[in-house]
Structure 1
Amino acid sequence: MAQDLTPEYTVPGVELDAAGRLIGLLRMRLHALNDLHLTLKHVHWNVVGPHFIAVHEMVDPQVDRVRDMADDVAERIAALGGVAQGTPGVLVEERKWEDYSIGRADAIAHLGALDLVYTGVIKDVRAAIKEAAETDPATEDLLIEQLRDLEQFQWFVRAHLESTGGKLATAGAATETDAASRGADLG
């Protein structure tokens, strides 16, 4: 049974029940962002190979920005009258995706898997934008800003996976392991 997230108060112009739906929507975005920044740090710590330094240094600014995104989402939840649940237990209990599956691996293999991670996160943000647009332009705007950055980060990742002819090595990959394998074939 779904938890009732309807707050006791919210921002002016948003109905309480709508605020509850927005809080639920943002709660999943918060989980996704917290998970993403931890995944990016995991990649940062476990990347090896000839492309190590490029990927190692590319990932840290993404970690910092994703952490800022999580903070913005948590503060929006609070402004709407909700509780920003940022603990690991709640994240693991409520998330709808599996944990990142690649350990110590070649940089290009990690980038192959990260491409798939970013695809999932971006699809979910786009769906959240569509839902928020019906209720609250401030929440919609917050998500649109984050979408632009997430798409840019995926572009950075994909630049390492794309051939000069425009073919993406991870095209058609269904799992992180498959995407990592296809990426590693490039390296």
Structure 2
Amino acid sequence: MATATTTSNASRHSRTDHVSHPAFRADAQFAGHLQRLLVDLNDLALQGKQAHWNAVGPNFRDLHLQLDEIVDAARTFTDDVAERMRAVYVVPDGTSARTAAQSSLPAFPGGEVRTGDAIDAIVASIYAVTGTAREIHDDVDAADPTTADLLHGIIERLEQLAWLTDAERREPETSVPEAIIA
């Protein structure tokens, strides 16, 4: 009897039985934009852990903890973007192969890395992610302002983390870019 019920339920849930009518569904360009951001965020999380494990030198402990914060943010945002993709009927691809092939982040150095060099590399990668988010923003916003709100949060937090991390290397009135005095 259980087999008949299982079979009956399986046939009731065939592909042609279910129809949804979402208010918004992504098109190919929108899907591609979110996939680009997903890949970059995934790579940022990986690079952050690489730096976390291999940075050595002055202020190591502070950087070690800061890198955990960056990784946590990148992982959270990766999940947020992937879940948003699913909500608008896009299938995310967060595989290592896709990430390695399509990330726009500069490569993170292998082996042990001096803390100052690790800071410079991870800040460059954070800015690469925010660059991707800013580049796709207007198209995403035109298609779906709700998803653009997600980008706003990502940009805001990652730029804050870049500033907090980069401040370790800055010198007053001599660093590039120069501070703007309001």
- Assess same fold via TM > 0.5: yes
Residue aligned with 1:134, SS: helix
Residue pairs, 1:97-116, within 5 angstroms: 97-116=105-124
- 2:36 is aligned to 28
Number of aligned positions between the proteins: 159
Aligned letter for 1:109?
Answer: D
Q: Which one of the candidate residues 72, 82, 96 is aligned to 2:90?
A: 82
Alpha-carbon offset, residue 164 of structure 1: 2.1
- What code does the residue aligned with 2:150 have? L
**1:19 & 1:69 partners in 2: Cα distance?**
21
Aligned to 1:45: 53
| TM-score, length-scaled by structure 1 | 0.78
Work out the CA distance in 2 between the residues paired with 1:59 and 1:139.
27
Distance across 2 between alignment mates of 1:96 and 1:51: 29
CA distance in 2: counterparts of 1:9 and 1:27, whole angstroms: 23
The 8 Å contact of residues 35 and 93 in structure 2, kept in 1 or not, is answered as: yes
The one-character-per-residue Cα deviations of 1:77-98 (angstroms, maximum 9, x if unpaired) are 1111111111111222333455
1:4 alignment counterpart? none
Q: CA RMSD in A?
A: 2.0
**C-alpha spacing 1:166/1:9, structure 2 compared with 1 (3 Å):** farther
CA contact (8 A) 1:125 1:143 kept: yes
Match of 1:119 in 2: 127
Structure 2 portions without partners, runs of 5+: 1-18, 178-182
Aligned-residue offset at 1:10: 7.3
SS state of the match for residue 58, structure 2?
coil
The match for 2:159 is 151
Aligned amino acid, residue 99 of structure 2: L
Q: TM-score, normalised by structure 2?
A: 0.80
Describe the shift of the 1:10–1:77 C-alpha distance in structure 2 as closer, same or farther (beyond 3 A).
farther
| Equivalent pair of 2:49/2:67 in contact (CA under 8 Å) | yes
Distance (whole Å) between structure 2 residues aligned to residue 126 and residue 10 of structure 1: 30
Change (3 A) 1:39 1:75: same
One-letter amino acid matched to 2:94: G
Task: For residue 112 of structure 1, report the CA deviation from its aligned partner.
Answer: 1.4
Task: Select which of 139, 156, 172 maps to 2:147.
Answer: 139
Rg bigger for which structure?
Answer: 2
Gap regions ≥5 residues in structure 1: 1-7, 172-187
Deviations 1:149-179 (A, max 9, x none): 01001101220121022514xx6xxxxxxxx
Once the two structures are superposed, what CA deviation does each residue of 1:6-40 show, in whole Å capped at 9, x if it has no partner?
A: xx97741x3x5x53322111111110000000000
Q: Specify the SS of the correspondent of 2:69.
A: helix
Query: CA contact under 8 A between 2:36 and 2:132: conserved in structure 1?
Result: no
Q: Per the alignment, do residues 123 and 9 of structure 1 end up closer, same or farther by CA in structure 2, a change over 3 Å counting? A: farther
Matched-pair identity in %? 30
